[in-house]
Amino acid sequence: MANTAAGTIRIERTFPTSDEDVWRLWTTREGIESWWAPDGFKVDVSKLDLRLGGELVYTMTATAPEQVSFMKGAGMPLTTEARKTFTEIVPPRRIAYQSLVDFVPGVAPYLQLTVVDLSPIGDGVRVVMTMEPMHDEVWTERLVMGRGNELDNLARVTERKRGR
């Protein structure tokens, strides 16, 4: 992870698969549900309209005891609905979306941008996520940890697919 221009955050990973495979995992209901949730949570996609201005809507539910305890202790529900609006789609190279951050107790809703770039590299694909920070350092750190964990999950899914 590195902080880049204007306070944005950048996370890079390389996966031993094609950009098309990662694109499908990032842009299909089945793909998203297979890796998107951080450990201890599950994701159920209710809407996926993959076009400029289209939405991804899903619920994220805490399922593991540690996450359930954290959510309760933070005064947050165990299940939250998340909405993302696609701002750029260039298959299979780039996807960008604004996330509606409306789940933080005591913080007015706002939008947070994430840009994902995929580039073939050798026999794999490099994934670069560039994200705007959240409203404070604590929540920005949670965002970075969550996205890093999601990318770890994506690595596990691509490894399983490769092992078939």
Round to whole Å and give the CA distance between 146 and 36: 10
Q: Which residue has the higher pLDDT, 1 or 116?
A: 116
Q: How many structural domains is the chain composed of? A: 1
Distance, first Cα to last Cα, the chain: 31
The Cα-based distances of 146 to 19, 124, 139, 150 in angstroms read 22, 23, 10, 6
The structure's pTM equals 0.88
Q: Hey, is 45 helix, strand or coil? A: strand
Q: What is the arithmetic mean of pLDDT over 139-143?
A: 92
Q: What is the pLDDT of residue 164?
A: 58
Q: Residue 84 is part of which domain span?
A: 2-163
Residue-wise pLDDT tens digits, 5-63: 458 999 999 999 999 999 999 999 999 999 998 888 999 999 999 999 999 999 999 99
Cβ 112 vs Cβ 131: under 8 Å: yes
Any residues with CB less than 8 A from the CB of 64 and at least 6 apart, and which? 39, 40, 41
Q: What is the pLDDT of residue 7?
A: 84
Quick check: 134 pLDDT over 80? yes
Q: Could you please report the per-residue DSSP string of 70-116?
A: HHHHTT--SEEEEEEEEEEEETTTEEEEEEEE--STTS--EEEEEEE
What is the CATH number for 109?
3.30.530.20
Q: What is the pLDDT of residue 2?
A: 46
Beta-bridged to residue 95, according to DSSP, are 89, 116
Round to whole Å and give the CA distance between 20 and 1: 24
Residue-wise pLDDT tens digits, 61-92: 999 999 999 989 988 899 999 999 999 999 99
Q: Which two tokens stand for residue 18?
A: 């094609």
Q: What is the pLDDT of residue 75?
A: 86
Q: Hey, is 79 helix, strand or coil? A: strand
